[in-house]
Amino acid sequence: MTKRPNILFIMADQLAPQVLSAWGGSRVQTPHLDRLAEQGVVFENAYCNFPLCAPARFSMLSGRLPSRIGAFDNAVEFPATTPTFHHYLRLAGYRTCLAGKMHFVGPDQLHGYEERVTTDIYPADFLWSPDWRLDDESWLEWYHGMHAVLDAGPHRRSVNIAYDDEVEFEAVRWLHEHADGADDRPFALTVSFISPHDPYLAPPDWWERYRDVEIDPPRIPDIALEDRDPHSRRHWFLTGRHRDEVGESDVLRMRRAYYAVT
């Protein structure tokens, strides 16, 4: 019988493929990701099923469209009755473990994983659930406001970096313990980092790597606010763009910080 391979599934939040060398980028230094791409399989036509974190993850884990499992925002519960591919891996004899963020909402924080060696960085309860009966949308500005990126730049520490350090440490520890243990099952370990998710707060040495690197401005069509579609106009106000002035230097600073935390 052919020996079944171990599975190491690495995730990064808000990672734009076009900035990576493996996908033709030339600005960002990602030697480890580039080496993984060289030695592994690169899916050039893979598409995310949803622009928000939780629904995208639930869709990936279940193999079903967000519309089929009722996942429409980051506050929705992932039903424990929905099987994930980790349930099937366990049935196939795999030892399954999760280290890091998966944005599960609700009492089930495993969804097919046998073990979870870190907490999640986001709350598991329904704190983010909106009251759709209310007309007040002020909570949306809190959630989507520009504050998350306006402070981009060098910082000694951040919650994201501290969390990712813990994820890396616990994942490596788990791998060593599995290798030295008596469990001879193949493993499926998911290691899920939150970086480069905003806020883009980079350690000073990471920030300095891009001091002399040319930062390209984003390619965004210059469309007057009154000429935009209703959704885009609403999004402009929800993100606080009507209140917070964002200049070209701010945008370049944000992009430099994003490069640094990638």
pLDDT single digits (tens) 175-195: 999 999 999 999 999 999 999
Checking if the pLDDT of 140 tops 70, the result is no
Sequence spans of domains, the chain: 7-261
**What proportion of the chain, given as a percentage, has pLDDT over 90?**
58
In this structure, which amino acid lies at residue 141?
E
Find the range with the poorest average confidence among 76-80, 133-137, 148-152. Answer: 133-137
**pTM, to two decimals:** 0.90
Q: Average pLDDT, stretch 117-144?
A: 75
Q: Average pLDDT, stretch 71-81?
A: 91
Checking if the pLDDT of 137 tops 80, the result is no
Q: Which residues are catalytic?
A: 53, 103
* 259/143: higher pLDDT: 259
Highest-confidence segment of 37-41, 66-70, 164-168? 164-168
CATH 2.160.10.10 fits 7-261, yes or no: no
Distance between CA atoms of residues 254 and 151, nearest Å: 8
